[in-house]
Amino acid sequence: MRGIKGTVISILAIGLLTVSAIGTVAQSGSPDPTAPAPSEGPSGGWTYLALGDSNVYGPAEACGDCTTYPHVLADRITTELGIPVRLIDGSQWNSLTSRRLLEEIQEDSWGESWEQPRDPSQSPREGIAAADLITITVAANDQPWFQDPDPCAGTYDQACIERTVDPYRTNLDGILREIATIRAGKPTAVRVTTIYNDMIPGPGIDPTWYYSPDFLAESAAGAALLLDALNAAITEAAEANGATVVDMHAVAHGPTGTAAMPAGWFSAEYGDLNQAGQDAFAAEIMRLGFAPLPTPGD
């Protein structure tokens, strides 16, 4: 985590907001002649690539030694569906943005990040080529108040929304198109999560743990509108590329999107998603299923 003077006290990296679950997979485009050949997953099982920021990575000092959602999900698929899972954990604890993730995939390199992915054993394109299931959680660090310097200088108006959301939509669309090209029509379950709003006070969270009172008083309303626009962009890009949205904003904040985050998702002691939140991510992905991948009984 890193502090941003005068605005955000510390970063909680994760990502994404509303609109209900849709779609099924990203699988279109022509074969990529430069794509690596897929490696073998577990016999009769799936290979799962998890891409995302620090809430997917789960640094021990920021989530209380939690078991992050890709690991929870992999275990649940194995125990509940009887499908062996090989997990490639490509999550990163380095203020990952959508632009940097797209560049890593395009360049087939994890780059010079200060914290490499949890599992750098395969390059980005190798991981995608091998993966039957791919989850993507990247958007939190695209929010301007988590950048240093803040490109919107604390004014989260329509101009700031356009300046932030249009490039994000382009980047996410590029990521999903790269995945489709590398997968070359093979059945692939692609799941993109939305961002929750950790600025809503309630029994589950006190925003002053992480944000300055001045930021909350002056900027929270505009920041929430920008967050909504990012989530809409996630949905648009997912729909356009056949991916499924995992609407964690709705899970966190209820059907109206106004409830505070549930107790246990965050705490004053830890600055990223805690175990209850990680479990909720895995549960929602399980609930949505894994079409178009065949599962026992199909």
What are the structural domain ranges in the chain?
46-288
In the predicted model, what is the mean pLDDT of residues 206-235?
95
- How much is the pLDDT for 42? 57
Residue 204's pLDDT band (cuts 50, 70, 90)? confident
| CA atoms of 82 and 75, how far apart (whole Å) | 10
| CA atoms of 182 and 161, how far apart (whole Å) | 31
| CA atoms of 93 and 120, how far apart (whole Å) | 13
Q: Give the chain's mean pLDDT.
A: 87
Indicate the angle between helix axes 275-288 and 69-81, nearest 10 degrees.
Answer: 50
Q: Where does 164-276 show beta strands of DSSP type E?
A: 189-193, 244-246
Amino acid found at 93: W
Residue 268's pLDDT band (cuts 50, 70, 90)? confident
Q: Where does 220-295 show beta strands of DSSP type E?
A: 244-246
In the predicted model, what is the mean pLDDT of residues 63-68?
94
On the question of pLDDT at 31 being above 50, the answer is no
CATH class label, 46-288: alpha beta
- How much is the pLDDT for 180? 98
Q: What is the pLDDT of residues 133-142, one digit of tens each?
A: 999 999 999 9
- How much is the pLDDT for 143? 97
- CA 230 to chain CA mean position, Å: 12
Q: How many helices (H) and strands (E) does the chain have?
A: 9, 5
Neighbours of 52 (CB within 10 A): 29
The more confidently predicted of residues 298 and 169 is: 169
On the question of pLDDT at 8 being above 90, the answer is no
Q: Out of 33-42, 141-150, 180-189, 260-269, which region has the weakest mean confidence (pLDDT)?
A: 33-42
- How much is the pLDDT for 43? 62
In the predicted model, what is the mean pLDDT of residues 231-241?
97
In the predicted model, what is the mean pLDDT of residues 174-193?
98
Q: What is the pLDDT of residues 102-131, one digit of tens each?
A: 999 999 999 877 788 999 989 999 999 999
Residues 6+ away with beta carbon under 8 Å from 144? 150, 151, 152, 156, 160, 164, 226
